[in-house]
A = this chain, B = another copy of it.
């Protein structure tokens, strides 16, 4: 996915502003298993996924809990770092060899103060993420695990293929065994 396409996703940007952003963006490649963001660390860049797939998880005593997946076009950032300059609660791990666009938050913050189009772009970015997050929260409360699995199958069939079921189960808030049961019933 091209950087232009990705940047225009939150909202269209005038060419000048787009170029401003692109000036600070570089490309990096990482192997499967690489940890992009670390909990307990103030992260200083945000990524956009050009190619690949990632998961965010909270490392707890026993098992990690996966609560987010990102793929081509999605932004990857520690919200806590980006918004509050505080340590986050998530690790982000690459689940495939991946290609990423990298933008330092320091530069981005400066652009927010200088360019109203970029400020509004950043606003739209946060707002769209907010809607996605809110939808997941509500969905989690309203729908059963089986329904949520079906939804996922519908909306992101590739995810099921690309990500191992343990992570999917954790994301759905159930055990892997339960997910297996659900899958068996649907067959």
- Contact size class for A? 35 or more
Q: Please give the count of copies of this chain that the complex contains.
A: 2
Whole-angstrom distance between the alpha carbons of A122 and B130 in the complex?
A: 13
Q: Which of B58, B113, B130 contacts A120 (CB 8 A)?
A: B113
Q: Is the CB of B131 within 8 A of A129?
A: no
Contact of A138 among B89, B122, B130 (CB under 8 A): B89
Q: A15: shortest Cβ distance to chain B, in Å?
A: 18
A137 within 8 A of B: yes
Q: In the complex, A136 Cα to B67 Cα: how many Å?
A: 11
Task: Evaluate whether A141 and B65 lie within 8 angstroms (CB atoms) in the complex, with A123-B122, A123-B126 already known.
Answer: yes
Q: Enumerate A90-124 residues with CB–CB distance to B below 8 Å.
A: 90, 112-113, 115-116, 119-120, 122-124
> Which among A60, A65, A83 has the highest number of chain B CB atoms within 10 Å?
A83
Which of B58, B124, B130 touches A79 (beta carbons < 8 Å)? B130
Chain B residues, CB < 8 A from A40: none
A-B contact pairs, 18 of them (CB 8 A): A58-B142, A65-B138, A65-B141, A79-B130, A83-B124, A83-B127, A83-B128, A90-B138, A112-B123, A116-B116, A119-B120, A120-B122, A122-B123, A123-B126, A126-B126, A129-B130, A133-B137, A137-B140
**A residues whose Cβ falls under 8 Å from a Cβ of B:** 58, 60, 65, 67, 79-80, 82-84, 89-90, 112-113, 115-116, 119-120, 122-124, 126-131, 133-138, 140-142, 173
| 14 further A-B pairs in the complex, CB-CB below 8 A; given A65-B141, A133-B137, A140-B140 | A65-B138, A67-B137, A67-B141, A79-B131, A83-B124, A83-B127, A83-B128, A83-B131, A84-B131, A112-B120, A116-B116, A120-B123, A136-B137, A137-B137
